[in-house]
Amino acid sequence: MRRVLSADWVLPVEGPPIEAGAVVIEDDRIAAVGTAEGLGEGTRYDDAVIVPGFVNAHSHLEYAVYGGFGDGLGDFAEWITLHIQRKARIDWAGHVDVAKFGAAQCLASGITTVGDCSYSGAAAVACAELGLRATVYLEVFGADPTRALEHFAGIRDRVADAFSERVRPGVSPHAPYSVSIELYEACAELGLPIATHISESPAEVAYLLTGEGAWGDYKDLLVASPGKTGTHLLAQHDLLGPNVVAAHCVVLDEDEIGLLASTATGVAHCPRSNGALGCGVAPLAELRAAGARVGVGTDSPASAPSFDFFEELRTVVLSARSRAARPDVLSAGEALELGTLGSARALGLDREVGSLVAGKRADVTVVSLEGSAYLPFEDPAAAVVFGGSPDRVVATYVDGEARYEKGGMDWQELTAAAHSARLAMLAQPAARPVAARSA
Ligand SMILES: [Zn+2]
């Protein structure tokens, strides 16, 4: 099927902005991008900008209803214990309900692809059902590779039917403090895309380097300190590379930035999550200057407030400018590029998605700026990044199919099911954390 979408502006991200632009979709691919005059108006969106679907380089859809859980807790063990206890109060169906709610929220925010770290595998089912493109990295934890990979295989089998060209499997060895190097190596041997968490906080780095610091008291929850940071540890074992995406990367020195860049490792920059957890501000400008493959991730409402990708892009801009104390360190257009093509590169999907170019998948988002302070248009990228919001997303297309249309989707049942799951998690008073009990 052939269809044309047109709007005041088309921002292809690869290639200059097109005023009065149009995108031609044939079946699941983009056939042409140009002016509406040349290509026809088709479905015309007024006061609107057409952008590539956002690529969320790091999410946990299964934590979509965890908003506010443990907010502000300074004690890591208390925070993680609360999560584990609450997570255990819902069953498989509950995990699927929550993940579907997360997938719906992503689509409603203009996100067309996620790199999702999934504990139960429910995210794969959710993405398959709602039509969200995904790499679902099934999470593994611990020191023992045999046990962890048995667990991985069990989850992979359970959700095998969900995997397709659009929803592909990956593996996520969680982090260097929760996964042994032997397990990282075993994951690499699977030959799947890999996601992990690296250098999220100063407390993590202190523990990895010395086994001490704020996390020193929780050794029983963690693997032994390797005496080096996550980046150095993985680099030493040849475990960085273009098939790896590392979330956070906040606490990095110059050497580590160089290693991430030279190995073409993907970096998922999650500034709202990092801010909410008091982790710091990642060296985005330095990573970009080094040539690292940086994308943008929302993380999940377990830390960041929401899957609102516009809020994330704004925070990308504001945090970069605050850190550098310069307004010209990152433009809105550059942030948009990071959240589309940059994220696609970080996930190794840039041949297929991330920009509006003939031949790529027809993953397209339409944002209305009607009635906003950004009309009449001056800089359409600034209008989207600073003036956009999920409320302003008119339509989200994945593989040329409208997977979200404002006012046209009935997600009431899905939302009610997710709220029931949250209620189940809140139903019992939180038990005292492990660390407090043993104190
Ligand atoms: Zn994460």
DSSP one-letter string for 122-134:
HHHHHHHHHT-EE
Centre of ligand 1 to C-alpha 43, Å, is 38
> Considering only CA atoms, which of 201, 178, 195 is closest in space to residue 277?
201
Cα of 60 from ligand 1 centre, angstroms? 6
Going along 11-76, which residue ranges are E strands? 18-26, 29-35, 43-52, 54-59
From ligand 1's centre to the CA of 298, what distance in Å?
9
Q: Residue 81: its pLDDT value, please?
A: 82
Give me ligand 1 centre to Cα 197, in Å. 6
Between CA 183 and CA 189 the distance in angstroms is: 10
What is the C-alpha separation between 408 and 404, in angstroms, rounded?
7
Long-range contacts of 430-435 (CB under 8 A, 24+ apart): 430/82, 430/85, 430/86, 431/85, 433/75, 433/77, 433/78, 433/81, 433/82, 434/77, 434/81, 434/221, 435/75, 435/77, 435/78, 435/81, 435/217, 435/218
Q: Say what the pTM is.
A: 0.95
Domains of the chain: 2-51+361-405 (2.30.40.10), 54-346 (3.20.20.140)
Helix, strand, coil content of the chain in percent (nearest 5): 40, 25, 35
Report CA 125 to chain centroid distance, whole Å: 17
Nearest Cα neighbor of 12 from 368, 399, 403, 354 is 354
- Whether 163 and 170 have beta carbons less than 8 Å apart is answered as no
* Residue 161 CA, ligand 1 centroid: distance in Å: 25
CA dihedral 260, 265, 266, 267 (to 10 degrees): -20
**CA atoms in the 13 A half-sphere facing the CB of 395:** 20
The sheet that has 167-173: what strands, in order across it? 54-59, 111-118, 133-140, 167-173, 194-198, 244-248, 266-269, 293-296
**Helix, coil or strand: residue 323:** helix
Q: How far is the CA of 9 from the centre of ligand 1 (A)?
A: 34
Structure tokens at 385: 């990044």
Q: How far is CA 229 from CA 196, 245, 276, in A?
A: 13, 16, 23
Task: Give the single-character DSSP code of 62.
Answer: G
Is 245 in contact with 212 (CB distance < 8 Å)?
no
How far the first Cα of the chain sits from its last, in Å, is: 65
pLDDT in tens, the chain (439 residues): 899 999 999 999 999 999 999 999 999 999 999 999 999 999 999 999 999 999 999 999 999 998 988 888 877 778 878 888 888 899 999 999 999 999 999 999 999 999 999 999 999 999 999 999 999 999 999 999 999 999 999 999 999 999 999 999 999 999 999 999 999 999 999 999 999 999 999 999 999 999 999 888 888 889 999 999 999 999 999 999 999 999 999 999 999 999 999 999 999 999 999 999 999 999 999 999 999 999 999 999 888 889 999 999 999 999 999 999 999 999 999 999 999 999 999 999 999 999 999 999 999 999 999 999 999 999 999 999 999 999 999 999 999 999 999 998 879 999 999 999 999 999 865 555 544 444 3
What pLDDT is stored for residue 428 in this prediction? Answer: 64
Distances 439 to 218, 310, 388 between C-alpha atoms, Å? 12, 43, 48
Q: How many Å lie between the centroid of ligand 1 and the Cα of residue 7?
A: 35
How many whole angstroms from 302 Cα to the centroid of ligand 1? 9
Give the pLDDT of residue 68. Answer: 86
Q: What's the confidence (pLDDT) of residue 436?
A: 44
Span from the CA of 58 to the centroid of ligand 1 (angstroms): 6
Q: How far away, in angstroms, is 299 Cα from ligand 1 center? A: 5
Distance 196 CA to ligand 1 centre (A): 8
- Is residue 309 within 8 Å of 56, Cβ to Cβ? yes
133 in Cβ contact with 401 (< 8 Å): no
Confirm if 110 and 396 have CB atoms less than 8 A apart: yes
Asked whether the beta carbons of 363 and 398 are under 8 A apart, the reply is yes
**pLDDT (0 to 100) of residue 439:** 37
CA of 329 to the centre of ligand 1 (A): 26
- What distance in angstroms lies between residue 272's CA and the mean position of ligand 1's atoms? 12
**Residue 102 C-alpha to ligand 1 middle, in angstroms?**
14
Distance from Cα 400 to the centre of ligand 1, integer Å? 29
Ligand 1 center–CA 365 separation, angstroms: 25
* Ligand 1 center to 179 CA (angstroms): 14
Question: With 0-12 CB in 10 A as exposed, 13-18 as middle and 19+ as buried, what is 182?
Answer: middle
